[in-house]
Amino acid sequence: MKIAYKTDNGIFYKGKIEKVLTSKKFDKYKGKINLIFFSPPFPLNRKKKYGNLQGEEYIDWLSSLSILFREFLAENGSIVIEVGNSWESGVPVMSTLALKSLLAFLEKGEYHLCQQFVWNNPAKLPSPAQWVNVERNRVKDSFTYFWWMSKTPFPKADNRNVLTEYSKSMKSLLKSQKYNSGSRPSEHNIGEKSFLTNNKGAIPSNVITAANTQSNTSYQKYCIEKNIIPHPARMPEALPEFFIKFLTDENDLVLDPFGGSNTTGAVSERLNRKWISVEPNIEYIKGSIGRFEKLSKYDFEISNI
């Protein structure tokens, strides 16, 4: 566990999360982390450059982390984990390994499952390629799940922090102060004044649509300039931004145990949250510097780690 770099609000550790969480130096964070947000390596049937485990080994590994995370999570804090889809090898059949991993994580950590979210990525490449592009007997797999869980059924959360712009029809309704009230075929009874209050935005759904197709970001420019290979599985900023706004307040502490290119840290910095990221790959850490103007501006270099 070594410090790669610091910013005004955060710190990036180089190391594997298992060792970092069991380090005496990390004890100071016990019970103080308000949000643990992460996308672990998915349980794939073939290995990728950024590493992943398989089968029961993956389930055991992920569930063991859930116990460690519980020690560091604040009593009203939240965990949000991305769980991607995986497929059986050689056949067009989805694997249940991702679901088994999630259930093991919940049970071992004794967490409450608060809500399920869907990340719809309209720009995702067709996969699994063999069945979608070649055999043409499946459709494109374009989403992953984010699972929100906590120690308590009532963690810190406020959907007023993630309101979306009203639709044109809603804006028109608020202006006219008129609509058809009464009962609906769904058996809901709409009151005469139920929709007349301007709440400064609409409550979002649990489906988040965000594409990761940006090609001219400060991160990518920095990687090109420094001849660094970008992280192969970067997350759009819209995802951590939504959950950080929804589940934390300013100056709260956010942990990303699989920091990668440090999207979570950069968003936390911008939203005035404290943050900790952990990543063992030095090339990913070096590239992440491009997300922080103060560090990249002064030609910051990582050394002695």
Tally of domains in the chain: 2
Q: Mean pLDDT throughout 223-244?
A: 93
Residue 295: inside a domain: no
Query: Looking at the predicted structure, is the pLDDT value of residue 300 above 70?
Result: no
Residues 94 and 194 in one domain: no
Residue 222: inside a domain: no
Beta strand pairing status for 143-150 and 112-120?
Answer: antiparallel
Residues 195 and 135 in one domain: no
**What tens digit of pLDDT does each residue of 48-77 get?**
444 556 678 889 999 999 999 999 999 999
For residue 96, the domain's CATH number is 3.40.50.150
- How many Å separate Cα 228 from the centre of its chain? 24
Residues 54 and 198 in one domain: no
Residues 18 and 98 in one domain: yes
Residue 225: inside a domain: no
- Output 194 or 34, whichever has higher pLDDT: 34
Residue 181: inside a domain: yes
Token reading at 299: 């030609």
DSSP string, 131-178: IIIIS--S----EEEEEEEESSSS-S--GGGG-BPPPHHHHHHHHHT-
Distance CA 36, CA 77 (A): 8
C-alpha distance from residue 260 to each of 2, 29, 265 (Å): 16, 21, 10
- The reported pTM is 0.90
Q: Which residues contact 11 (CB under 8 A, 6 or more apart)?
A: 3, 5, 275, 276, 277
Token reading at 57: 């080994």
Residue 124: inside a domain: yes
AA identity, residue 166: Y
Token reading at 80: 């949000």
- Residue 305: the pLDDT is 56
Residues 60 and 188 in one domain: no
Residues 116 and 243 in one domain: yes
Distance CA 216, CA 96 (A): 37
**What tens digit of pLDDT does each residue of 89-127 get?**
899 999 898 899 999 999 999 999 999 999 999 988 888
Check if the beta carbon of residue 281 is closer than 8 Å to that of residue 258.
Answer: no
Residues 184 and 264 in one domain: no
Residues 158 and 271 in one domain: yes
Percent pLDDT > 90 in the chain is 65
Q: Mean pLDDT throughout 245-250?
A: 98
Residues 140 and 266 in one domain: yes
Domain coverage including residue 54: 2-163+204-215+235-282
